Structure 1
Amino acid sequence: MATEISKSSYTNVIDLTSEAQKERRRDEVGSELREPDPPLDEVRVDELSGDMEQAVHAAGWTELMDVQRKAIPYILEGRDLIVQSQTGSGKTGAFLLPLFDLVNPDKKEQQVLILTPTRELARQIHEEFEKMKIATPHTNRMEAVLIYGGVGYQPQIEGLKNGAQVVIGTPGRILDHLKKNNFDAGTLRMLVLDEADEMLSMGFYPDMKDIVEHVPEDRVSYMYSATMPPKVRSVAREFLDDPGFLSLSTDKVSVEENEYRYYLVNPMDKDRVLAQLMELEEPESALIFANTKREVSYLNKFLANKGYDVDEMSGDLSQRDREEALDRLREGDLRLLVATDVAARGIDVSDLSHVFIYDVPQDHEYIIHRSGRTARAGEEGTTIVLSTHEDEFELKRMANTYDIDLER
């Protein structure tokens, strides 16, 4: 029998972290990572250089977001920095905008390397860069090359040989080009590690280490991460030089703008409960996370048979099919997208109303990333977890790790 649910039966699974808990967490992190010293004042749009201000307008922004106001002054000063900030907080702009002051378009050589965990995220960063660079004739002479697997080598080699100043890509293919001497990292002056926690979770540490060994020691380095577990802090100390630490994890770009709920369900009833939730919630747009490709395929067919506009995205899909599914979701032509974590990393959709966590991930950090796909950049969103009794343990581990109150 299907589990009956109603809106009155919603159970808050995650409450806002108390001020005392936030303070304790800041103290714990601060024992290893310190705030920048000396601190710098935040920056406003009208205080930026002409090229940077025009890039802001070219991107369609009227003001800077919190992470941009705080991080940009340190980047312009050339100080190594770690930024803890949720997905969707504006962190991409925080490291792209300074490039229009720091990169020399007259030098046809690689000057900046931006490492990302996925092809999708690399493409999104590249698209944002292309929007910004047309701001002025000076910045429009800057070039960026995209480097990731699943596509041909030759266009990437040509972009490198032609002197693209900015390299954006994934660790595996970047390292491949370095080993084949297609890419001379000796001219790099800046290294950006974006979504470092996800790169480490995906097993990229050996590649990251090899890449860093190719980059000059006198570089400046920046690391962005939604979570700050011990393995990320360890890598930060290894790859960065006495970095300052900016934490925006307790700001409103984090869990405060996300409503969290969970249900205890029988594993045999999860699909029917999900269908009932779709009727009750009526999501405008949603991501549904499952742990396996098999579950993704099943849920896609199950929801399609219920009459929903749905598609799936897993690692088995070609790059083209994955990009088409993402484009449909972004443009509002697709209402529901079922995905695995690996396929969905780097997704940037600005107006998702819901995230449904059909399977609780074994790595509880992924819950933070999954919920980060909604409530992006100040928008409200809802995350709903379908939990079995066995899953409750993982939920409690996550709550304990991030000092989040957990109610049932």
Structure 2
Amino acid sequence: MTRIQDKPRRTPVASSSASPARSSDHAAADRAPARAPADWRALLGDRTPTPVQAGAIPALLSGRDVITTARTGSGKTLAFLIPAAARGIGMSAVRGMRPEVLVITPTRELAVQIRDVARELGLTAGRITGGITPGQTRSEATGKGLISGTPGRLKDLIGRNELSLAGLRYVVLDEADELLSLGFLRDVGDILRAAQQQSSNGGHLQVAMASATFPAEIRAVAERFMLNPERIDIAPARSDDAAANAADVLGGATGATHLLVNTTRDQVLDLAADRAREVLREPGGCVVIFSRTKSLVKRRAEKLNELLPGEIVSPLEGNMDQKKRERTMALLREGKSRILIATDIAGRGIDLPEVRLVIHMDISSTAEDHVHRSGRTARAGRPGTNLVLLIPEQRALWQNVRRKLPGALHPPLTREESQIDKDIQEKQGQGRGQQGPGGRQGQPRAQGQAQPARSQGGGQNAGGGTRGAQGDRPRQGSQGQGRSQGRGDSPAGTGAGRVGPQRPRGRGGRR
């Protein structure tokens, strides 16, 4: 167990790969016998608590604010829902839209997933997201003790006095590092401030924040909204660069096999089809393939359907309407479709049955995004493979991402990946995690730096090409829709548009 020293104004954090640990000034809280009337372990059934559950649930039951970082698939959803159920918060029907528990998520799919898990625990739960009509929203959320939702729609209904936070007792930010990046930060801050102002509990709300990745700078933002938060970090071993900034924590799919294959733009699609076909020879299971833009997802889905006869290849990207997005998820969960090709909209929180293989057809723009992508496989103790398909044009970007990954997520080194010809590197946009051929555009963001607002242009980048529609994030313009399609019309459909987030162009209003 390694104790990490933080800045003097914040409590130290202990981090362990095996079990959660707490700082010494929390010893008194640990000895306190405070427990809810219900035995929280009973709510797990016959399952053994995971490390994050064993650490976070008692702290939340004692009334503490909690920041927790743990690998994907480690049971974080139950870790923040069980304390509410054990204390009877959100279990009963309420009048109107006046929840006791509010869970804020960056994506619609994750909001629906959390609602469903909450219902399994006996909470009365609804969701508020974009993509459904006002009437559907009222029907879904009225009378519910717990509401899960995306920031844009939540803020909209609060501003119109349709959603009351007067009865709120407990707030959760799931995928908190994404919610506290610049694209979401203003809306999330407005929601939390409104909750404190409307609260009938003297302005004090219990707040929990959870994610698989939590850079140090984002933690500093998080703690502005919390009261002396308990920090529980359960992380794999760090890379050398990450160890230099001990407050940065990246969890990940440590149980997966991590591989890298060097290929070319013209061969990448055939190679992805071959690998998917191989792992799906046996019944069951599925494959998740990540592409960096919405337009690439559409084109590649069509070509993969041709290359994989007998399989249904399901696309998922932010321009799809809500019915199509929900139908896609239903096909995957029912096993009718076994291949998902998606933008990073599928990288956070989405839990699919037995993802045997994750394929990165494009390199993610940051190490954090790579961690979340790779965490779709090897969940809940199952095996899985995380495969990077690396084309020469993206080697510089991959070097920057690899350098910041935890050691447990590194694929074996290959000779080719370090052979970078700057003249053929794809042009990178300004922003986080990029590395281009010189100039300020090519400078990567520091690991802990807050993320800039991202463009929502359909073909610009891995972040902007997906995130804007994920959780009703304000649109930043659509410039560049066609840029990715120039070289991207090659047979492999890899594209050559900008990878990174672009300069913000004002706030729109997509919800």
TM-score bracket for this pair, using the shorter chain length: 0.7 to 0.9
Equivalent pair of 2:90/2:99 in contact (CA under 8 Å): no
Distance 1:48 1:220 in 2: 15
Q: What is the match of residue 224 of structure 1?
A: 210
Equivalent pair of 1:84/1:246 in contact (CA under 8 Å): yes
Change (3 A) 1:291 1:392: same
Equivalent pair of 1:157/1:182 in contact (CA under 8 Å): no
Distance 2:39 2:230 in 1: 26
Q: What is the match of residue 93 of structure 1?
A: 78
Change (3 A) 1:29 1:326: farther
Distance 1:158 1:293 in 2: 31
| TM-aligned CA deviation for residue 30 of structure 1 | 7.5
Q: What is the match of residue 17 of structure 1?
A: none
Q: Which amino acid aligns with 1:125?
A: I
Q: Which amino acid aligns with 1:130?
A: R
Change (3 A) 1:51 1:38: closer
Q: What is the match of residue 127 of structure 1?
A: 116
**Is the partner of 1:72 in helix, strand or coil?**
helix
**Is the partner of 2:401 in helix, strand or coil?**
helix
| TM-aligned CA deviation for residue 369 of structure 1 | 0.6
**Are 2:104 and 1:115 aligned?**
yes
Equivalent pair of 2:69/2:233 in contact (CA under 8 Å): yes
Distance 1:276 1:28 in 2: 47
Q: Which amino acid aligns with 1:257?
A: G
Structure 2 matches for 1:5-404, cutoff 5 A? 23=2, 27=4, 34-35=12-13, 36=22, 37-39=25-27, 49-50=37-38, 52-57=40-45, 61-102=46-87, 103=89, 105=91, 108=94, 109-133=98-122, 142-157=123-138, 162=143, 164-200=144-180, 203-216=183-196, 217-250=203-236, 254-282=252-280, 284-308=285-309, 309=311, 310-342=313-345, 345-404=348-407
Consecutive unaligned residues of structure 1, counting only runs of 5 or more, are: 1-21, 134-141
| TM-aligned CA deviation for residue 157 of structure 1 | 3.6
Distance 1:97 1:333 in 2: 31
**Is the partner of 1:260 in helix, strand or coil?**
strand
Equivalent pair of 1:186/1:214 in contact (CA under 8 Å): no
Q: Which amino acid aligns with 1:285?
A: C
**Is the partner of 2:49 in helix, strand or coil?**
coil
| TM-aligned CA deviation for residue 86 of structure 1 | 2.2
| TM-aligned CA deviation for residue 331 of structure 1 | 2.2
Q: What is the aligned-residue RMSD (CA, Å)?
A: 2.8
Q: What is the match of residue 16 of structure 2?
A: none
Distance 1:298 1:107 in 2: 45
Distance 1:390 1:84 in 2: 33
| TM-aligned CA deviation for residue 174 of structure 1 | 0.5
Equivalent pair of 1:290/1:358 in contact (CA under 8 Å): yes
Q: What is the match of residue 137 of structure 1?
A: none
Equivalent pair of 1:289/1:338 in contact (CA under 8 Å): yes
Change (3 A) 1:349 1:158: closer
**Is the partner of 1:241 in helix, strand or coil?**
coil
**Is the partner of 1:126 in helix, strand or coil?**
helix
| TM-aligned CA deviation for residue 332 of structure 1 | 1.9
Change (3 A) 1:353 1:202: farther
| TM-aligned CA deviation for residue 28 of structure 1 | 6.4
| TM-aligned CA deviation for residue 353 of structure 1 | 0.5
Query: How many residues of Structure 1 are paired with residues of Structure 2 in the alignment?
Result: 369
| TM-aligned CA deviation for residue 124 of structure 1 | 0.8
Equivalent pair of 1:115/1:193 in contact (CA under 8 Å): yes
Distance 1:270 1:177 in 2: 45
For normalisation by structure 2, the TM-score amounts to 0.66
**Is the partner of 1:185 in helix, strand or coil?**
coil
Distance 1:147 1:318 in 2: 15
Q: Which amino acid aligns with 1:148?
A: T
Q: Which amino acid aligns with 1:265?
A: T
| Structure 1 residues 22-80: Cα deviation after superposition (integer angstroms, max 9, x where no partner) | 95xx63668765334324669xxxx98546455333xxx53322211111000000111
Change (3 A) 1:146 1:282: closer
Equivalent pair of 2:92/2:145 in contact (CA under 8 Å): no
**Is the partner of 2:385 in helix, strand or coil?**
strand
Q: Which amino acid aligns with 1:154?
A: G
Q: What is the match of residue 18 of structure 1?
A: none
Q: What is the match of residue 465 of structure 2?
A: none
